[in-house]
Amino acid sequence: MSHVLALSGGVGGAKLAAGLSAVLPPQDLTIAVNTGDDFEHLGLTVCPDIDSVVYALAGLNDEKRGWGIADESWRTMERLGALGEAQWFNLGDRDMAMHIARSWRLRAGESLSDVTARLTGALGIAHKVVPMSDAPVRTQVETEQGWLDFQHWFVGEQCKPEVRGIRFAGLPAKPSPGLAAALARPDLAAIVICPSNPFVSVDPILALEGVRAALESRRVPLVAVSPLVGGQAIKGPLAKMLAERGMACNNLAIADHYSGLLDHLLVDHADGAQAHEVRARGVAVSVSATVMCTADDRARLAREALLAAGYAMG
Amino acid sequence: MSHVLALSGGVGGAKLAAGLSAVLPPQDLTIAVNTGDDFEHLGLTVCPDIDSVVYALAGLNDEKRGWGIADESWRTMERLGALGEAQWFNLGDRDMAMHIARSWRLRAGESLSDVTARLTGALGIAHKVVPMSDAPVRTQVETEQGWLDFQHWFVGEQCKPEVRGIRFAGLPAKPSPGLAAALARPDLAAIVICPSNPFVSVDPILALEGVRAALESRRVPLVAVSPLVGGQAIKGPLAKMLAERGMACNNLAIADHYSGLLDHLLVDHADGAQAHEVRARGVAVSVSATVMCTADDRARLAREALLAAGYAMG
């Protein structure tokens, strides 16, 4: 028995998390999910990254739209509009059930870890999906307009305002019991950083008490799957964020960002030319097809990431 | 200018309230709505009677189903079931918007009166619809199983357990500013009790601080439209409740229940034979067609109720 800890953000990360859950038995995997994107909207606690991971693992995710739950409709939101409520963040009717169930359970005193275990259990997900923290850590981005809550910038402003800085309100905060336990497992054999935005999906996890130190002093391989394909982010504002920081949109930037943490970077064929320079930084590189369209893609990439971490599958 | 105060419960009351709003200008009508049926469900504050009145006035009510909003679907509830959440009280997708908007505004510190004014305003309802109280007064019924919250008995147990007693948790409570203001208006000209269940829709209103006393010392006619038709309640548990109290299911029971409050009772043709006995109790009686199927029915019955109250329409 040996355990894998995956750190994941939303959509891209969720795909690899689903792949890992397809190739590893439940007792061998903990998926710790970013909650820096979470926010309170219309009285509901919305956890976009947890929901992306949960929907992907339950096979409920909308493959075509790329986010949310399949077979969605928007009738509650339409009526909320008629009642004069905010329309900038769309919540689907089927998705709404997650937010309602989560919010009332949190208000009733359950931790986000408890609620997440309850919801994944109800959906038949046997693998451990845990929030990065039970404390409300909230990503904020600094723009010309001042500090904006992440979703206001990401969805409300469609990522348009230039990002001058990023901070995580709510720090210091402890990692969730599930993340802390996975980091401390004597049988921990590999750590995988899923292909998620380093700045807003992975950094919030690294910023939790003791997490970066635990990763820096790790005795097991840490492999990251690059979120870049052909020098672009498949989805989300990563390319824009890199440019606004004066950084190149390539895997050197990714490797530098994870400096001291990374043993192995898995990059796409389209970016194979950067392998040499990344290796020169002391990081091993594997080159593969990292775009995950099918369940087979997800499982194959998961296997490749585990292989890169030297993980012996049962 | 002279003002009408209507006291209303849910479905039947809402129909007459809609009729009154059709025949009276906005400044001449206050509809005070029972909130004893309200309850907290899945973290949402559900106000069934307010919503029935609001939907009826906005023309959004589902005529065929007899409750809720037209063109409804149940997709959030279906998913809530998949997440292991309670299924005994069905909330529709379109209806859900009311509960979400109301709940978050209440949590943000608005009173139920504020929220109700906001929601009716957004829906273009010009007439004043006010909750009976801003305090959470909650009807409970005593059964063999002990005291049950009203909706648990009404919807959860489908009214089956015998009712031994009724109480209103949360008393003493003040009437809402809108109800108190209407009662105190120098130009108040008539009070109408809509065809709602006396025990669970009207009594909670009468139990608020000063309301019964204000009605007993009224200087204006009070007319009630009977909720019975042909010795039966069109909808709801009234007939069962009367039987369980050892009372006849007829308009004498209604007149006796409102003893000291009632000047005029409007009864259905089917119950015309009881008119003589009701009159013998000092209550005037009009006989009419009280089943409201169409907008014309609602407006006609509203006019007849106002006529019975001696109200001179503009």
pLDDT single digits (tens) B30-52: 999 999 999 999 999 999 999 99
Query: Domain locations in chain A?
Result: 3-39+126-308
Cα dihedral sign for B184, B187, B190, B193?
A: negative
Phi-psi label, residue A107: left if phi above 0, alpha if psi -120 to 50, beta otherwise: alpha
Query: Among B182, B151, B150, which residue's Cα sits nearest to residue B33?
Result: B182
In whole angstroms, give the CA distance from residue B75 to residue B72: 10
Q: At which residue do the structure tokens 């509650």 appear?
A: A76
pLDDT at position A1: 61
Evaluate whether ipTM surpasses 0.90: yes
Query: What is the mean predicted confidence (pLDDT) over B273-295?
Result: 96
Position A187 pLDDT exceeds 80: yes
Domain spanning A3-39+126-308: CATH 3.40.50.300: no
CA distance A288 to chain B (A): 37
Query: What is the mean predicted confidence (pLDDT) over A46-71?
Result: 96
Query: If you average pLDDT over every residue of chain B, what do you get?
Result: 96
pLDDT band of residue B314 (cuts 50, 70, 90) is low
Q: How many CB pairs under 8 A join A and B?
A: 104
pLDDT at position A314: 65
Q: With contact defined as beta carbons under 8 Å apart, do B258 and B212 qualify?
A: no
Position B118 pLDDT exceeds 80: yes
Query: What is the mean predicted confidence (pLDDT) over A257-263?
Result: 96
Query: If you average pLDDT over every residue of chain A, what do you get?
Result: 96
pLDDT band of residue B11 (cuts 50, 70, 90) is confident
Chain A environment of B79 (Cβ under 8 Å): 69, 93-98
- The string of pLDDT tens digits covering residues A218-259 is 999 999 999 999 999 988 899 999 999 999 999 999 999 999
pLDDT band of residue A81 (cuts 50, 70, 90) is very high
Q: With contact defined as beta carbons under 8 Å apart, do B226 and B251 qualify?
A: yes
Structure tokens that stand for B275 in this block: 């008119």
Chain A environment of B82 (Cβ under 8 Å): 97, 122-123
Position B66 pLDDT exceeds 90: no
- The string of pLDDT tens digits covering residues A275-298 is 999 999 999 999 999 999 999 999
pTM of the predicted protein model: 0.96
Identify the residue among A39, A51, A80, A100 best suited for mutation to test binding to B, counting B beta carbons within 10 A and taking the highest: A100
pLDDT at position B203: 98
How many other C-beta atoms can be found within 10 angstroms of the C-beta atom of residue B299?
Answer: 18
Contact assignment for B103 to A43 by CB distance below 8 Å: yes
Q: With contact defined as beta carbons under 8 Å apart, do A190 and A310 qualify?
A: yes
pLDDT over 90 percentage in chain A: 96
Domain spanning B3-39+127-308: CATH 3.40.50.10680: yes
Identify the residue among A76, A98, A103 best suited for mutation to test binding to B, counting B beta carbons within 10 A and taking the highest: A76
Q: Are strands B44-46 and B39-41 parallel, antiparallel or unpaired?
A: antiparallel
Higher-pLDDT residue of A24, B312: A24
DSSP B127: S
The CA distances from residue A307 to A130, A221, A222, in Å, are 24, 10, 11
* Smallest CA–CA distance from A116 into chain B, residue: B83
- The string of pLDDT tens digits covering residues B209-259 is 999 999 999 999 999 999 999 999 988 899 999 999 999 999 999 999 999
pLDDT band of residue B1 (cuts 50, 70, 90) is low
Contact assignment for B93 to A80 by CB distance below 8 Å: no
